[in-house]
């Protein structure tokens, strides 16, 4: 444990089951090495060469693999939880059932990697950090994305402290911006492979993160409009909310019309109040007999028409962005 083997040449070495926790293996030459079931928790393997190495079931939790060369390596069922893989090379790497919960894959080259049943999210349903990851020709259909509630980028951004120290506002803003990028980039990659349902989930998460960015940038007007779009339609990804908002307004004003009718000269039945509410919502309200412009009926109808217009404009904006990207 804690051994220093920096830039050593250990090509094709047989180290299966070895204990190298927290060892310094930066820049070491380990091409075609046998490290299956080895213990490398917390080890420093930055810029190490592990091309075509055998690391099946290897424990690499919290290890530093930034810039490491893992082209063609076998990492099936390896434990890579919270592993730092910044700019690592995972071209053609085999990651069958690999554990990547909380791993940081920012700017990692993942072209042609075998990800079948990898990227599992663990009990908390938190996936790896993927901001600026290069997906290339990776087949994303083999990953169980439905098990991932949020990416590691978002989880990290939501944490108020790191290593026991409270984050400052600039750091938190940068992390939320990274979370926006990660979700959007993944959504685009998934959509390009026809995985629209999975892409919609991460596109929605990106919108939630962007709203927090707007709040932290003190762009309160855009923040409130974004919040309205979320409440009304979930940015186009939760259409059920639109129907709910429509029904609440229609039946809410219907109730107000009926309450007002008890003390007014004009009496409405429930179905007449419903027709008046629907007509007013869509800007086609009408004046009842013996009703003046100053009457409460007219004022309620005008208020409902304005609210209906705001809701319709918001929905048009939301669904235009959702389906046409504009």
Residue 133 lies in a domain: no
Residues 109 and 186 in one domain: no
Pull the structure tokens for residue 289: 């007999």
**Choice between 249 and 268, residue whose per-residue pLDDT is larger:** 249
Q: Which pLDDT belongs to residue 104?
A: 79
Residues 95 and 60 in one domain: yes
Residue 185 lies in a domain: yes
CA-wise closest residue to 5 among 82, 33, 57:
33
254-291 residue pLDDT tens: 998 888 866 555 677 888 888 888 888 887 665 556 66
Q: Which of 118, 137, 162 is the last residue of a domain?
A: 118
Residue 278 CA to residue 285 CA, distance in Å, equals 8
Q: Report whether pLDDT(318) > 80.
A: no
Residues 153 and 210 in one domain: yes
Contact 125, 102 (CB under 8 A): no
Grouping H, G, I as helix, E, B as strand and the rest as coil, residue 113 is coil
Residues 26 and 59 in one domain: yes
> What is the mean pLDDT of the segment spanning 299-307?
86
What residue has token string 């990416």? 151
* CA 242 from centre of chain: 22
> What is the mean pLDDT of the segment spanning 214-232?
91
The full length of the chain comes to 326
Q: Which of 212, 229, 246 is the last residue of a domain?
A: 229
Task: pLDDT band for 217, please (50, 70, 90 cuts).
Answer: very high
Q: Which pLDDT belongs to residue 86?
A: 83
Q: Which pLDDT belongs to residue 314?
A: 75
Residue numbers of the domain that contains 179: 145-229
Share of the chain above pLDDT 70, in %: 86
Q: Which pLDDT belongs to residue 64?
A: 93
Residue 271 lies in a domain: yes
Alpha-carbon distances, residue 124 vs 15, 118, 121, 294 (angstroms): 33, 16, 7, 57
Q: Which of 202, 229, 256 is the last residue of a domain?
A: 229
Residues 219 and 249 in one domain: no
Q: Report whether pLDDT(309) > 70.
A: yes
> What is the mean pLDDT of the segment spanning 123-131?
75
> What is the mean pLDDT of the segment spanning 94-101?
79
Residues 22 and 107 in one domain: yes
Residues 7 and 92 in one domain: yes
Q: Report whether pLDDT(115) > 80.
A: no
Q: Which pLDDT belongs to residue 130?
A: 82
Pull the structure tokens for residue 161: 């402290």
Rounded to the nearest integer, the mean pLDDT of the chain is: 84
**Choice between 217 and 106, residue whose per-residue pLDDT is larger:** 217
Residue 7 lies in a domain: yes
Residue 108 CA to residue 105 CA, distance in Å, equals 5
Residues 221 and 244 in one domain: no
Q: Which pLDDT belongs to residue 213?
A: 97
pTM higher than 0.75 = no
Q: Which pLDDT belongs to residue 323?
A: 67
Contact 128, 105 (CB under 8 A): yes
Q: Between helices 296-324 and 270-281, what is the axis angle to 10°?
A: 50
Give phi and psi for 166, each to the nearest 5. Answer: -70, 135
Residue 266 CA to residue 102 CA, distance in Å, equals 65
Residue 93 lies in a domain: yes
Q: Domain count of the chain?
A: 3
Q: Which pLDDT belongs to residue 221?
A: 94
Task: pLDDT band for 315, please (50, 70, 90 cuts).
Answer: confident
CA-wise closest residue to 316 among 241, 204, 233:
233
Q: Report whether pLDDT(200) > 60.
A: yes
**Choice between 55 and 100, residue whose per-residue pLDDT is larger:** 55
Q: Which pLDDT belongs to residue 45?
A: 92
> What is the mean pLDDT of the segment spanning 155-162?
88
Q: Report whether pLDDT(325) > 90.
A: no
Residue 40 CA to residue 60 CA, distance in Å, equals 5
CB contact set of 165 (below 8 Å; sequence gap of 6+): none
Contact 28, 8 (CB under 8 A): yes
Q: Which pLDDT belongs to residue 326?
A: 45
């Amino acid at each position: 444990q804690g051994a220093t083997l920096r830039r050593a040449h250990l090509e094709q070495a047989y180290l299966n089951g070895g204990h190298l926790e927290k060892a310094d293996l930066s820049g070491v030459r380990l091409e075609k090495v046998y490290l299956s079931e080895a213990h490398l928790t917390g080890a420093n393997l930055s810029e190490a060469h592990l091309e075509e190495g055998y690391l099946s079931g290897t424990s690499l939790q919290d290890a530093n693999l930034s810039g490491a060369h893992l082209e063609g390596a076998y990492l099936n069922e390896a434990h890579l939880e919270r592993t730092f893989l910044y700019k690592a090379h995972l071209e053609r790497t085999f990651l069958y059932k690999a554990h990547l919960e909380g791993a940081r894959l920012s700017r990692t080259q993942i072209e042609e990697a075998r990800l079948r049943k990898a990227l599992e999210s663990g009990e908390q349903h938190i996936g790896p950090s993927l901001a600026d990851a290069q997906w290339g020709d990776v087949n994303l259909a083999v990953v169980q994305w439905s098990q991932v509630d949020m990416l590691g980028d978002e989880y990290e951004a939501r944490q108020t402290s790191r290593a026991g120290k409270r984050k400052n506002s600039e750091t938190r803003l940068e992390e939320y911006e990274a979370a926006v990028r990660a979700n959007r980039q993944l959504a685009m990659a998934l959509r390009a492979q026809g995985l629209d349902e999975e892409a919609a989930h991460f596109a929605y998460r990106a919108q939630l993160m962007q709203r927090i960015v707007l709040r932290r940038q003190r762009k309160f007007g855009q923040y409130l409009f974004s919040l309205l779009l979320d409440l009304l339609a979930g940015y186009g990804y939760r259409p059920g909310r639109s129907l709910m908002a429509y029904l609440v307004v229609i039946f809410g004003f219907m109730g107000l019309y009926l309450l007002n009718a008890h003390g007014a000269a004009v009496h409405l039945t429930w179905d007449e109040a419903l027709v008046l509410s629907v007509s007013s919502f869509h800007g086609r309200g009408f004046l009842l007999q013996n009703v003046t412009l100053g009457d409460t009926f007219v004022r309620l109808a005008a208020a409902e028409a304005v609210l209906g217009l705001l809701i319709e404009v918001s929905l048009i904006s939301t669904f235009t962005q959702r389906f046409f990207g504009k």
